[in-house]
Amino acid sequence: MRAVELLRFATGAIIAHPMRSALTSLGVVIGVAAVVMMTSIGLGAQQRVTSTIAGLGSNLIIVSPGAARAGGGGGFVMGAAGSGQTLRDSDAEAIAKQVEGVVAVAPVVRGQAQLAADGANWNTRIEGVTEDYLDARDLSIATGRMFDDREARQGRKVVVIGQTVARELWGDLDPLGRRVRVRGVPFEVIGVLTSKGQSGFGQDQDDIVLGPLEAVRSRIVGRRARGDTVQTIYVKAADGDSLDRVQEDTSTLLRELHRIRPGDDDDFQTQNMASILQASQAAVSTFTTLLAAVAAVSLVVGGVGIMNIMLVAVTERTREIGLRMALGARRSDILVQFALEAITLSLVGGLIGLLIGVGGATAIARLGSWPAAIPAWAGPVALGFSTLVGLVFGAYPSWRAARLDPIEALRRE
């Protein structure tokens, strides 16, 4: 029998029982749709993590204080990570001068403040920084300028604001040169940052005010930052290849400056953005693989369903098989016909599941403001696995049909 005739017979058998064929393919539909959706969600999560960490700055090392310790009488009570006050301006200056491969060092103090200007008010976060902050965090000025080193050292009352702050306080008006009161202290707006939008965790990166380090520390943060202490030091390496070395040299230098003896714990923490990104992506990738593996179980269940229905079909069509053999059909023709039926059922189910999976992944992305990351290989792999499922689980029923004795088959009622 020609291949076209075998395909026509297989298709006709499937169309003859539409409801049974649909239910048979349902397991494959669910399996393929689930795998495509889980994979898409996982890749979307990876993209979101990547964009979030990249938004902090490239080739960046974040130095933060260790946990605060308090207590007496032979015991200490540890505070939360980063709650200590062990970093100072001098640490940032030493890193900038003594660590090779560093292009920007930016000490930071931060707090939350209520702003008031021209009858409007807005609560936002304010950070006291130096002029190197823009380079360290890969930020830029949209209009106006950044305060210079002299203004930062003198603690001049000037600020650079984000787009959200500008919109909430002045709407469409130009904020440059206007006065804004931060906790009652008047500051002049000299610049507006270029918009960065929301971070991967939903934080508005444009809802921020940058002021000179000394001015913010003394007038806004107040008692929470004693003396010349800072809450974070951003260290930007010249390139990604030198990032690990710069991190190690920074840690070594800070241990020397803080007079930490060998074997004692550091009173600071350093975080490498590249390492954090790699670890986060690995965790998300593992989670995605696990979800996809669980979803793939549905494909096995769908394959078992195809096998069961094909075995029933062999029993129901025993006389038909015997008649075809009596008219000259070879055993290989019967084998191929039933295999084609199983593959067609699985392949159609895979195609429907692929469409549902792509549609579901896109809908989830829109509802949750999640990146719709549908891999290019989703289609070929989904259809390939569907074909494989049909071939594997249709093999035994096809073999059973081909092994029937034509005389016994014709006698079967």
Amino acid, single-letter form, for residue 170: W
pLDDT by residue, tens only, the chain of 413 residues:
465 665 666 676 666 667 777 777 787 888 888 888 877 877 777 777 666 666 666 688 899 987 655 444 444 444 444 446 789 989 999 999 999 989 999 999 988 888 999 889 999 999 999 989 998 888 899 999 999 888 877 778 899 999 999 999 998 899 999 999 988 889 999 999 998 876 655 577 889 999 998 888 888 876 555 678 899 999 998 887 788 898 899 999 999 999 988 888 888 898 886 666 666 667 777 777 776 777 677 777 777 878 877 777 777 677 777 777 777 777 777 777 778 888 888 888 888 888 888 888 888 777 766 667 777 777 788 788 788 888 888 787 778 777 777 667 666 65
| Residues 6 or more apart in contact with residue 327 via CB below 8 angstroms | none
Amino acid, single-letter form, for residue 302: G
**278 Rama sector, left if φ>0, alpha if ψ -120 to 50, beta otherwise:** alpha
CB 211 within 8 A of CB 165: no
- Tokens describing residue 207: 């809802």
Phi then psi dihedrals of residue 404, to 5 deg: -65, 140
How many residues are listed for the chain in this entry?
413
Hey, where are the domains in the chain? 3-52+279-411, 105-239
CB 229 within 8 A of CB 85: yes
**202 Rama sector, left if φ>0, alpha if ψ -120 to 50, beta otherwise:** left
Rounded to whole angstroms, the Cα distance separating 159 from 170 reads 15
Helices within 317-369 (DSSP H only): 318-326, 331-367
Rounded to whole angstroms, the Cα distance separating 268 from 258 reads 10
How far is residue 263 from each of residues 63, 249, 251, 252, 266, measured CA to CA in Å? Answer: 20, 17, 14, 13, 9
Rounded to whole angstroms, the Cα distance separating 353 from 351 reads 5
CB 63 within 8 A of CB 267: no
Side-chain-side CA neighbours of 273 within 13 Å: the count stands at 24
Rounded to whole angstroms, the Cα distance separating 171 from 168 reads 6
The partner residues of 186 in beta bridges, in order of sequence, read 181
CB 339 within 8 A of CB 391: yes
Q: Where are the beta strands (DSSP E) in 71-135?
A: 77-78, 87-88, 102-117, 120-129
